[in-house]
Structure formats: structure tokens, C-alpha cells
Amino acid sequence: MPLGICDQSSAVHLKVIVNGGHIGKALGVKDASGQCICTMQLTDVIFPAGKVEKLESDFFNLTNRLQDILNEIVDIQTVVATMESHDKNNILAVQRELIALREKLQECEEAIAKGAGAPNVTRTLPIGKCNHDGLLKVSDPVLVKLNWKGSDFKAGSWGKDFAIGTKSPDHYWVFPLNKDERTLENYRLYSSYKKLLLYSPVREYSLNISNDPKCPDCGQGAGVVFFNGSFYYNCFDSRALCKADPFSMRISRANIEDQDPASFNNWFSYKGVKYQDIDLAGDEKGLWMVHGSTLSNGKLVIRKVHPDTLTVGTPWTTSQSKDMASNSFMICGVLYATKRKNSTHEEIYFMYDTNTSQERNIKIFMEKPLPTVQSLNYNPNDQRLYMYNDGYLVYYNLTFMTRTPKKIGDVPATEQHQALDAEGQKSLVKRESQGIASKDQPNSDSNQQQEPVSVTVVRRETMREGGHIVASQ
């Protein structure tokens, strides 16, 4: 029966040949209208010829594409090799140019030093001496390492013991704040620079020696310094000063109360930095405190601090707002304030000399690895500036101007200031002026309080003896 012809009386089974030579069966019937309806059942296909043809086509396409890519790879390798060759040559050229520029810079500095009336340049000065005319420039930053707690601990402070003739001259300290960027609790001491680099401390310390959840002996803010074997800092949640001896585990405390007390609890901190209302600093002349105050409307205020009694001297009040400065440091009794220029540079823009009660604007740029300067500390023992920069430890070498000879007729400015003597008692030091102060000299009434400061000192000492905590008032 021909294919497609159906018998009227019964269904017809046909054998047909389909694509690929395979045999299948077809079943056909006629409906009421006479149309033939067929269904076909194929036997199992042993070899998928269609799929093979498709895979064969895909294989050739992929082969061609891979070949194109291998041509591109060869081209890229050639370009990279050429760039590497050029880059090596450029590095050598840049190195030669840098050497030549350094030589020219040295020649210029020597020429300036010989020039009449020009500021003289000196790189090294006798330790502890102030026979210079102030800061001239700051070196490129030296990035030492990340702090021992890690990159999450952005705020903190670090450096060396800055006391002249300190009993621990080689000790480095690193004091990261907790993640709240407020609480000063755990720190490490290192016996040498090598130990610092190896994260190998003498030991790790905690200010919370009483294990109190409120940590009354902790500090707040990154204004901490290490002076003659003890840490000095702003006590937590107060305007008091604290002193912590890491070797005896003794903590002393003194409340500071006067007519214009220091601000605290983030009232007048530095711009972009939290809870650094009270910033401790050190230089050739001893221990200092820089803070803001209410009566001065947040201006930078400088006070001398006695390291044994924690009593403070008469304030010098500057014309600069503390919350406009990014940080500050002291050198030879001179306050230097910084401000953010951009994410890569700071500018030392202001100085106040407590020796003469005079201030002026300056412009010295500092490069910084990261945007925020959390703390700055000057060390007179190595004449370096230590920066805690968003969790990283950085230092700078400083260059000063040599002191120019005084001209005939020059007279010192009037200075009258109450200072603390070696026994913690107040003595009045006067320097009489032989002439009239210049009109740009700050008024002594506004910049320096002459009345005695009323200071209430409350000492609380906490120490660990054996396994017990001993406190005394």
C-alpha cells in the first residue's frame, strides 16, 4: 500500500524509512471526513547524527575563536614587554634626576645659609637645647607600620619617651583607642625600634586594672604622651588629668578646676578628631597641656603641667579656635597648629610662642599617607615628629632655622608668667622690657592671665599589690 493511503475498514501498519536509514512504524486511520490520520513510532536512534553535526560546527567555531584570542595574547605580551623595558629605563632616568635635584637642593640651602638676612638652615641641634629660630621644614613621611590592633583602630597615639634624660630612652609606645575612638584602655611598650617592627612588646598593658566595666582609670581621646616612664592623659568622662606608671601599675588623678576650666567630652576637640579636648604634649621645656575653654569661646589655650603633682600653670590664650585646627604640638615652648589642606597634605599654619607671648601665621606643608591626623607628638630626644595617621604609625624628621645674631638695640618683649618650680610651688618670673612692645604683640591681658590660678587637686592612687587592688586618696 502506498505511503499515506489508509484502508477504510481497518488500520494499516506500515514500515517506513526515516532520516539516517532507521526503520520505524506508522499507524494510519481515516476519520469521518475521509482524511487519513497517521502516527509514527520510531525505533531507538542508535547514532545521533544531528547532534554530531552541531557539535562539529561548534568545535570549529570555538577553534577559530581560540585562535583569534591566542593572536591577541601574543600582541599583549609584546606590548607588556615593551612597556617593562621602557619603565626600567624611565626609573633609571628618574633616579638620576632625583640625585641631581638633591645635589642642587643642598647647594641652594648652603647658599641661603650664607646669604645676608636669610634664614639659616640646620639639620641637627644639641639635644635639649633651643638655640634656633623655629621650625623651618618637615621631611617626607616615614611609614613605619600598622598599629598592633589592626586597621579598624583608626584613632590613637604613639612615639618615644620625650623627657630629656629619660630613664627609658629607647622605649616606644603604641596606644590605639578602642573602636569607639574615645576610650583609651590598652597599650603596648617596646624596648627598641626593632622590637616595635617585630610586634614584640615588653608586655601589653591595660588602664582598667580594677576590671570595672565603666573603666574609671581609662582615658579618653588620643592626647596621651609618655614622659619619663609614665603616661599622661585626660581621665575618662572628666576634665581631670591622669598619670599611669606601667611598671608599678599605679594611677594618679588630679581634678582641674579654675575660672576658665578646660573643656572635655568632645566639646572643643580638634576638627575631624573626636574627644581630644585635652591634648598632652612635651618638648625641651617639659610637659604641656593644650585645650579649649568656654570663656575663650573655644580658642587654643596652652598650660604648663607639673609632671609630679599634675597641677597646671597660668594659661596662654591664643587667637585661634581649637576646633578649626586638625592637631598641634610643642617645640621649645612654641605651639604649632596644623590644619587639613587636602587628603594628602597638612599645613602647619600657626605658631604661638609662650616665651614672648607672640603669635603669627606660617606655612609649612606636611605630606601624610592617609587623610586624618589623629595625633601629633614632638620628641626633643631625636627631634622627630610622631603622627598616628588613621591607624598607621608615621614619623618625620624636622629642620630648624639657626638663630640669627641679635642686632644692637633689640630688646626682649615683656614676659610675666606664673610658673611651677621643681617642688611644685608657684613662683613669679618677670622679665622687664626696656622699650615699648610693638603694636602686633598680643595684649597680655587677653593672652596671659596674671592672677593666680585656683587649682583643686584630688589625688587618687590605685595600684595592684599581689592579687588585690589598693586605692588611696
Same domain, 149 and 34: no
Whether residues 367 and 230 share a domain: the answer is yes
Domain CATH number, residue 456 = 2.120.10
Look at residues 99, 118, 137 and tell me which one is the last residue of a structural domain: 118
How far is residue 141's CA from residue 365's CA, in Å, rounded to a whole number? 11
pLDDT (0 to 100) of residue 155: 96
Which amino acid is located at 18 in the chain?
A: V
Q: What stretch of H or E contains 40?
A: strand 36-42
The pLDDT value recorded for residue 279 is 96
Residue 51 domain-assigned (yes or no): no
User: Is 473 inside a domain boundary?
Assistant: no
Residues 263 and 147 in one domain: yes
Domain span holding position 20: 1-46
Instruction: Specify whether 137 is located in the same domain as 20.
Output: no
Q: Is the pTM of this model over 0.75?
A: no
At 333, which helix (H) or strand (E)? none
Does 54 fall in a domain? no
318 in any annotated domain? yes
Would you say residue 52 lies in a domain?
no
Q: Which three cell numbers stand for residue 382?
A: 631625636
Q: Are residues 19 and 64 in the same domain?
A: no
The pLDDT tens digits along the chain (473 residues) read 444 444 444 455 555 555 555 555 666 777 777 777 776 665 555 667 777 778 878 877 887 877 778 787 777 777 777 766 666 556 666 766 777 777 677 667 666 555 444 444 455 678 888 989 999 999 999 999 999 999 999 999 999 999 998 888 889 999 999 999 999 999 999 999 999 999 999 888 999 988 888 888 999 999 999 999 999 999 999 989 999 999 888 999 999 877 777 888 889 999 999 999 999 999 999 999 999 988 888 999 999 999 999 999 999 999 999 999 999 999 999 999 999 999 999 999 999 999 999 999 999 999 999 999 999 999 999 999 999 999 999 999 999 998 766 554 444 433 334 333 333 333 323 333 333 333 333 343 333 333 333 333 333 444 433 333 333 33
Are residues 185 and 292 located together in one domain of the fold? Answer: yes
Closest CA to 245 of 35, 97, 461: 461
325: burial class by Cβ within 10 Å (0-12, 13-18, 19+)?
buried
Q: How many domains does the chain have?
A: 3
pLDDT of 413 reads 39
Please give the angle made by the CA atoms of 441, 437 and 129, to the nearest 5 degrees.
Answer: 70
Q: Are residues 104 and 210 in the same domain?
A: no
Do 303 and 210 belong together in one domain? yes
Sequential DSSP letters for 275-332: S-SEEEEEETTEEEEEE-BTTTTTEEEEEEE-TTT--B-PPEEEEEEGGG-SEEEEET
pLDDT of 16 reads 54
Give pLDDT, residue 23.
53
423 and 341 within one domain: yes
312 and 338 both lie in a single domain: yes
